[in-house]
Amino acid sequence: MTALPASFSTPFAHSVPDVEQRVLLVVARSLDRDPATIDLNSRLFVDLDAESLDMLDIAYSLERTFCIRMPRVNLLQRASDLFSEQAILKDGIVTETGMDLMRRSMPEIPENWIKPGMRVYDFRLLITVESLARVVHRCLEAVARLCCSQCGGAAVPNSEFSMAMICADCGHTIELPSGEHLLVDDLRRVGEEMHLPIVGEPA
Amino acid sequence: MIAANEHRRVVITGLGAVTAFGRGAMQTWRAIVDGRSGVTARHPFENSANPLQVAGYVDIACLEGFGNEKYLGRAAQFGLAAGLDAYVDAGLTPGTPHAQKIGVCLGASTFPVIEDRLDRLGSLLDGSRWNAQCYAQLCRERPWLLTQSDAASISSLLSDRLGFEGPSLTVQAACTSATQAIGHAFHSLRAGQATVMLAGGTDSMLSMMCVTGFALLGSLAQRWSSPAQASRPFDRTRDGFVLAEGATVLVLEELHHALARDARIYAELLGYGSSCDAYRLTDMQPEGRGAALCMQAALRDAQVLPEEVGYINAHGTATPLNDRIETHAIRQVFGSHADHGLAVSSTKSQLGHLLCAAGAVELMVTALALHDKILPPTLNLENPDPECNLDYIPGLARPAAVNVAISNSFGFGGQNGSLVLRRWPQPAEASSAAVSIPPLAVTRRVCITGIGVHSPLGFDLSSHVLRWREGHSGTESPATPEMQALGIPHAGRVPGFEPHNRIANRMLRKILTPAAGFAVAAAGEALHRSGLQPAEIEKLSLFVGSLGLDQDLNTFGEALRQSLEPALPGLEPNPSEPSASASAPERFSYSRFHKHGMSLIDPLFLLKSLPNAGLCGAAIEHGMQGANLNIMNGSTSGLIAVSAAADSIFRGDTPVALAGGYDSLVQLETVLAHLIDGRLRTGKEGGNGSGYLPSEGAAFFFLEEEAHAHARGAHIFAEIAASAVTHSPSGTPPEQGAVAALERAARASAAAEPPTEYPSCTAPNAVFGDGLNLAGHDALEAEVLRRIGCRLRGIPLHSTVSRLGFAGAATGLFSLLHAALTIDGQLSFAGMANPEQPPEKLLVWTSDRGRNHVAIALRRSPDTAATEAAPCEP
């Protein structure tokens, strides 16, 4: 696989259209498609014939491209851990509450794609290029807010190690925010909006 | 007495196991019946700050008595212990006569182990790349680093210990390995090729890189509350499997042989079926097509009806997809019987997933369940899944007298296998042992009707033949930078291989290594040249001889580099270490690896190095769903795969099969293994005995029953008259086994001819052998040819190695290709009596360092002359 252009490694240039364009190129390259044939609304598993292995490859490429840590968990499973399985799933079918939670968590998805009778593993069928761009953007925002836990100094890219930051003042290593933690934080926020009680913590 | 044309019956007479429950088959069985879990949690690495890892660990102390084996890998130690125990349990003793009729067939894995290199990592890495010279130095100091990952040596070691001269085989079909090994051994016993086979599997993939690989693929259980509850097959909350290590070996024995010595019989092995999903590398086909096909094939092979089956030991990994699809496939095969009297359970709920050994331990559990009339449970099934709605025997073992049971295995890559067992009536019961077994049909003739090749001379048959005839050498490509650093200037590289032009499947282009890509493309060419109709391709059997490890160590270079931390202050550099810098060496840190390193590793690396990727890739690319076998026996793999394919046609299992193999000697560890053994030619000169240049490639053959070929007017290149596979245990002269293989092939090929005394009627016109340009191997080859009388008659030895280099498993296949084309009149060789008159008989053979030998006798089909086409002409 050819390397991405060097400019792609620059972590902080992240206007929304810029992120979207880069995500689209990563997806196109991973799925061996002409970028011109893909748009933000393309569904990876439905329109672009992605397999589960592609998602691993795409998440890895996005992490390396943007210097972030992507979440790799099923949103509905994490929601079941937080708000109880009964609230989200009944006999393997996503409940009304579960569907509401998905709509709020994935605002880029047209509402009518989330239909009654969905199963937990149908979740991935909804994922679009724009969904990935949203998650990448969320991770980049969290990176931009990082600061040193020791001296409060600014976090800057680490020239020796691409997958961590470094304190501009004291040189302390600053870990990248975990994508999974961000996802759980967002779920908590959505749960609050929906007045869903938290019953457990993700394992 | 058994008539020569009768199928033999096969029984299980010995069991040996090493699992998380300890050493000994009964130790494991008692724990299974008691409903215990063998899964525990540990801090696997030096630094306890690392997260807990749950797995079915084996306490190595249970192998007391294996103290001398400290340089053997864990899988080798488990496999040896289980094999020796099984042999003793069967009441057989070393030195048992008829060693030629006893063999070994084990499933085993070859994956990267980095651990024993970590203390020197600082000097092994140049930036993010491995320094070939420093690594060569380390491997010279620690020769076991390279032998530890040679999984094919485990079968050989066991054969050595017990003095067996029958085939000593290693099978690699990912998680189906052991089931496939047992199935293959079973078929060879039933056909009378052996009287006893030690069959099973061994595995230990708990090393840092293996665990990393499975974790990155997202295959492992993560949401567990206690280790014993981590493996939850068929439970709604399941989220992946739990890794485990261990081994199980079963003694499979021909029934009359067992009865004659009054052996205890655990169960009768009735049938084996295999299939390919031909769908995707990791996702199962959503309808469970491959899983259903292999259960149906096994039932057909066993001649039992679905309603007779009372118990299924499921693959049941506890991944969301597997358990749902396996359930669906069971419903397809068993219909309403699935809800009436069919119990299913997953032993992985107790032991975790033993990967290449899983099928063996699970078959053992199934046999003992029949024998002791108690069905093992599925633990941790507390939350019913509406899509997993069979009787899974939750929680507690269940007393039940079942007559027929199945054990299932489905592997990464889409290779599936099922074995069918029948309860053996105890002496007190009325004998119900009569089983109708179809007699072997009349002798069939097997011929080659399609050939495909990717070699250093080109990537199809036409260009290979053309360039060979023009006298080109394939070994003039510049070697890799690593090889050049080691003094190897040239190598035989397949020129300009471009997956985009050769492979249609997008995911295969992304995942396959170049070597596996050669296999997919060469298989496609052989298939295309055969002219077989698509409907027949779907059912086609596929036999592949694969390389062992195909792993570019530089895949981990960046991750390992980022896992180094400066040495503790005050630590002096090791003066013996060939480090360029005088400063204290950097030290590998597990916690840095976990925190930073892992995220830099390609999450698909484990799949990319699957040794069965060539077979699965070919099945996916070309849509082959039939029976299959992946042999991983070092350089003999390719010809053994062809021999097995020919056998399956001789037996009448199938009228057509695709067989071949691939190898590549360009990865650093492979190069080092050959270099340190003094086998690779270094420097520019290539004098006598100076060794060979490393090379790569693939060749595939379309094999077909002669009548089938005639019926569709196919061109016949040559007939495969017979083949033989043998092993030379250490302590016996290697030429003894080699002579036996050649003689057997030659004699068998003569059997259908007018009865003249051996060897005059069987003397081949030439032998296509190794010709490795190594003093020891060349002397072995010369001695073998002398003993079978070739020297007396001036029969020449022909080899492709001087012009194509040595391409491991592919070299034997290149010999077969050249021999077939010579018989077909398209190639000639130096020393041919009359270049205008193609030879009648040729022997093809190869030997793996004097351990394993395989010979194939080719002869000119009476109809070869009649067909006019010269299919390899451009």
Closest approach of B592 to chain A, Cα-based (Å)? 11
B731 interface with A at CB cutoff 8 Å: no
Name the pLDDT band for B45 (thresholds 50, 70, 90).
low
Question: pLDDT-derived band of residue B569, with 50, 70 and 90 as boundaries?
Answer: low
Read off the DSSP letter of residue A5.
P
Q: Are B244 and B54 in contact (CB under 8 A)?
A: no
Integer angstrom CA distances of residue A184 from A57, A175, B132, B722, B814: 22, 18, 45, 64, 57
Assess whether pLDDT exceeds 60 at residue B97. yes
C-alpha–C-alpha distance, residues B438 and B735, integer Å: 38
The minimal CB distance from A163 to the residues B218, B321, B596 is found for B596
Active site residue B353: yes
Residue A162 placed within a domain: no
Among B395, B494, B351, B439, which Cα is nearest to B805's?
A: B494
**What is the per-residue pLDDT for B863?**
64
Residue A12 binned pLDDT confidence (cut-offs 50, 70, 90): low
Angle CA B860–B863–B868, to nearest 5: 105
What percent of chain B shows pLDDT beyond 90? 70
* Amino acid B864: pLDDT: 53
Please give the Cα distance from B833 to B852 (Å, whole number). Answer: 31
Query: Which H/E stretch holds residue B844?
Result: strand B841-848
Comparing A49 with B580, the larger pLDDT belongs to: A49
Helix axes A52-66, A16-30, angle to 10 degrees: 140
Q: Region B502-526: what's the mean pLDDT? A: 96
Q: How far is A165 from chain B (nearest CA, A)?
A: 11
Q: Do B562 and A203 touch (CB under 8 A)?
A: no
Contacts of A175 in chain B (CB under 8 A): 595
Cα(B719)–Cα(B707) distance, rounded to whole angstroms? 12
State percent of chain B over pLDDT 70.
90
E strand or H helix at B766: strand B766-768
Stretch B523-541: mean pLDDT, rounded?
94
Query: Contact at 8 Å (CB) between B290 and B279?
Result: yes
The CA-based dihedral angle spanning residues B287, B291, B292, B293, taken in that order and rounded to the nearest 10 degrees:
120
DSSP output for B341-401? S-EEE-THHHH-B-GGGHHHHHHHHHHHHHHHTEEPPBTT--SBBTTB-SB--BSS-EE--
For B694, list phi and psi in degrees, rounded to 5: -75, 150
**More confident site: B749 or B319:** B319
Question: Cβ contacts (< 8 Å) between A64 and chain B: which residues?
Answer: 600
Residues of chain B in contact with residue A92, where contact means CB-CB under 8 angstroms, are 236, 385-387
- Six token digits for residue B370: 């029949």
Residue B280, token pair as written in the block:
């995707």
Measured distance CA(B45)–CA(B67) in Å, rounded = 23
B715/B721 Cα distance (integer angstroms): 17
Give which of B128, B223, B511 to mutate to test A binding, by max A Cβ within 10 Å.
B223
Q: How far is A168 from chain B (nearest CA, A)?
A: 20
Residue B537: φ, ψ to 5°: -60, -40
In angstroms, the separation between the Cα of residue B552 and the nearest Cα of chain A is 15
Q: Domains (ranges, CATH) in chain B?
A: 10-113+148-423 (3.40.47.10), 446-551+609-683+690-859 (3.40.47.10)
Which three-class secondary structure state does DSSP give residue B516? helix
Q: Is residue B434 pLDDT above 50, yes or no?
A: no
Residues in A touching B616 (Cβ below 8 Å): none
Identify which of B63-67, B357-361, B382-386 has the greatest average pLDDT: B357-361
Q: Cβ of B572: how many Cβ atoms within 10 Å?
A: 8
Task: Give the span between the Cα atoms of B341 and A21, in whole angstroms.
Answer: 58
Q: Is the peptide bond before B759 cis (omega within 30 degrees of 0)?
A: yes
Per-residue pLDDT at B47? 54
Which value, to the nearest 10 degrees, does the dihedral of the CA atoms of residues B20, B22, B27, B29 take? Answer: 20
pLDDT tens readout for residues B243-273: 999 999 999 999 999 999 999 999 999 999 9
Nearest to B218 among A51, A54, A72 (CB): A72
Q: What is the dihedral of CA B487, B493, B498, B502, to 10 degrees?
A: -150
Q: Work out the pLDDT band at B565, boundaries 50, 70, 90.
A: confident
pLDDT band at residue B68 under the 50/70/90 scheme: low
- Cβ–Cβ gap B283/A31 under 8 Å: no
Helix axis angle for A16-30 and A129-144, nearest 10°, is 130
Q: Which chain B residues are within 8 Å of A56, Cβ to Cβ? A: 216-218, 603-604
Q: Tell me the chain B residues in contact with residue A57 when contact means C-beta distances shorter than 8 Å.
A: 510, 603-604
Whether residue B52 is predicted with pLDDT greater than 90 in this model: the reply is: no
B598 touches chain A (CB under 8 A): no
Cα Rg of chain A, angstroms: 18
Partners of A31 on chain B (C-beta within 8 Å) are: 506
What is the three-class DSSP state of B438? coil
The catalytic position among B175, B210, B294, B616 is B175
Query: In chain B, what residues touch A49 (CB-CB under 8 Å)?
Result: 506
Tell me what pLDDT residue B751 has.
56
Interface touch B386/A92, C-beta < 8 Å: yes
Minimum distance, in Å, between the CA of residue A67 and any CA atom of chain B: 11
Report whether pLDDT(B387) > 90. yes
Residue type, B443: T
Q: How far apart are CA B810 and CA B664, in angstroms?
A: 8
Average pLDDT over residues B713-727: 94
State the pLDDT at residue B580. 44
Q: Which helix (H) or strand (E) holds A192?
A: helix A179-193
- Does residue A150 lie in a domain region? no
Tokens standing for residue B12:
């299980």
Looking at CA atoms only, how far is residue A57 from chain B in angstroms?
7
- The residue to which tokens 């295309």 are assigned: B528
Q: Is the pLDDT of residue A9 over 50?
A: no
Residue A64 lies in a domain: yes
- Inside any domain, residue A156: no
Cβ(B288)–Cβ(B326) below 8 Å: yes
Helix or strand run (H / E) with residue B797: strand B797-798
Task: Judge whether A102 lies within some domain.
Answer: yes
Q: Tokens standing for B394?
A: 């939750």
Mean pLDDT of A100-112: 95
Alpha-carbon gap, residue B77 to B202, rounded angstroms: 9
Band (A15; pLDDT cuts 50, 70, 90): confident
B743 token code pair = 């003689």
How far B123 CA lies from chain A's nearest CA (Å)? 18
Rama region for B797: left / alpha / beta (φ>0; ψ in -120 to 50; rest):
beta
Q: List the Cα angle B184/B190/B191 in 5-degree steps.
A: 90
Residue A96 included in any domain: yes
The residue-averaged pLDDT of B618-646 equals 97
Test the A interface: residue of B239, B507, B616 with most A CBs within 10 Å: B507
Q: Which of B7, B353, B490, B674 is catalytic?
A: B353
The pLDDT confidence band at residue B298, using thresholds 50, 70 and 90, is very high
Residue B69 banded pLDDT, cuts 50, 70, 90: low
Burial of residue B830 (CB within 10 Å: 0-12, 13-18, 19+) is exposed
Residues A31, B596: C-beta atoms closer than 8 Å: no
Tokens of B122: 């600082």
The verdict on a CB contact (< 8 Å) between A57 and B387 is no
Residue A128 DSSP label: B
Tens digits of residue pLDDT in B723-754 = 999 999 988 888 888 888 888 887 777 654 53
**Residue of chain B minimizing CA distance to A165:** B596
Instruction: Tell me what pLDDT residue B787 has.
Output: 85
| Backbone phi and psi for residue A153, each to the nearest 5 degrees, phi listed first | -65, 170
Check residue B675 and give its pLDDT.
94
Tell me how far apart the alpha carbons of residues A166 and A176 are, in angstroms, rounded to a whole number: 10
Among candidates B379, B417, B380, B387, which has minimal Cα distance to B186? Answer: B417
**Has B464 been annotated as catalytic?**
no
One-letter identity of residue B837: Q
* Average pLDDT value over all residues in chain A: 90
The confidence score (pLDDT) of residue A5 equals 41
Lookup: tokens for B596: 């930073």
Each residue's pLDDT tens digit, B106-153: 999 987 778 889 989 999 999 899 999 999 999 999 988 888 878 888
List, for residues B435-487, the tens digit of each pLDDT value: 445 555 567 899 999 999 999 999 899 999 999 999 999 999 999 999 999 99
Q: Do B223 and A202 touch (CB under 8 A)?
A: yes
Q: Which of B216, B280, B509 sits opposite A32 (nearest CB)?
A: B509
Asked which of A110-119, A152-161, B696-705 is least confident by mean pLDDT, the reply is A152-161
pLDDT at residue number B551: 86
The residue ranges of DSSP E strands in B208-360, in sequence order, are: 246-254, 267-276, 309-313, 343-345
Query: Comparing B816 with B776, which gets the higher pLDDT?
Result: B816
Confidence of residue A158 (pLDDT cuts 50, 70, 90): confident
Q: What is the mean pLDDT of residues A1-21?
A: 60
Residue B326 has pLDDT above 60, yes or no: yes
ipTM: 0.91
Whether residue A94 lies within 8 A of chain B, CB to CB, comes out as: no
Cβ distance of A53 and B511 shorter than 8 Å: yes
Size of interface A-B (CB pairs under 8 A): 62
* Comparison of pLDDT for B343 and B783, the residue scoring more: B343
CATH code, domain with A79? 1.10.1200.10
Per annotation, catalytic residue among B7, B315, B594, B798 = B315
> Are the beta carbons of B543 and B629 closer than 8 angstroms?
yes
Pick from B283, B596, B604: CB nearest A57: B604
The answer, yes or no, to whether residue A53 has pLDDT greater than 60, is: yes
Nearest C-alpha neighbor of B797 from the set B847, B761, B723: B847
Please name the residues between 220 and 239 in chain B that touch chain A, using a CB distance below 8 Å: 222-225, 236-237, 239
Side chain identity at residue A109, one-letter code: I
Within a domain: A169: no
Residues of chain B in contact with residue A91, where contact means CB-CB under 8 angstroms, are 386
Contact list, A77 vs chain B (CB under 8 Å) = 223, 239
Q: Given a cut of 60, is residue B873 above it in pLDDT?
A: no
Whether B562 and chain A come into contact, CB under 8 Å, resolves to: yes
CB-CB neighbors (< 8 A) of A163 in chain B: 562, 596, 599-600
Helices vs. strands in chain B: H and E counts, helices first: 31, 31
Count structural domains, chain A. 1
Residue A165 resides in a domain: no
Question: Residue B688 has what pLDDT?
Answer: 84
Segment B650-664 shows an average pLDDT of 95
> What is the pLDDT at residue B756?
38
Task: Please report the pLDDT score of residue B754 as a whole number.
Answer: 38
3-state secondary structure A25-94: HHHHHHCCCCHHHCCCCCECCCCCCCCHHHHHHHHHHHHHHHCCCCCCCCHHHHHHHHHCHHHHEECCEE
B105 is catalytic: no
What's residue B319's pLDDT? 95
Task: Output DSSP code: residue B116.
Answer: G
Average pLDDT over residues B23-29: 98
| pLDDT averaged over every residue in chain B | 89
Residue A193: give the domain boundaries: 12-143+178-203
Task: Give how far the C-alpha of residue B618 lies from the chain's centroid of Cα atoms, to the nearest Å.
Answer: 16
- CB within 8 Å: A175 and B595: yes
- Lowest-confidence pick of A10-19, B216-225, B517-526: A10-19
How does pLDDT run across B180-229, given as a tens digit for each residue? Answer: 999 999 999 999 999 999 999 999 999 889 999 999 999 999 888 899 99
The radius of gyration of chain B's CA atoms, rounded to the nearest angstrom, is: 26
A161 Cβ under 8 Å from any chain B Cβ: yes
pLDDT for position B44: 67
Beta carbons of A175 and B239 less than 8 Å apart: no
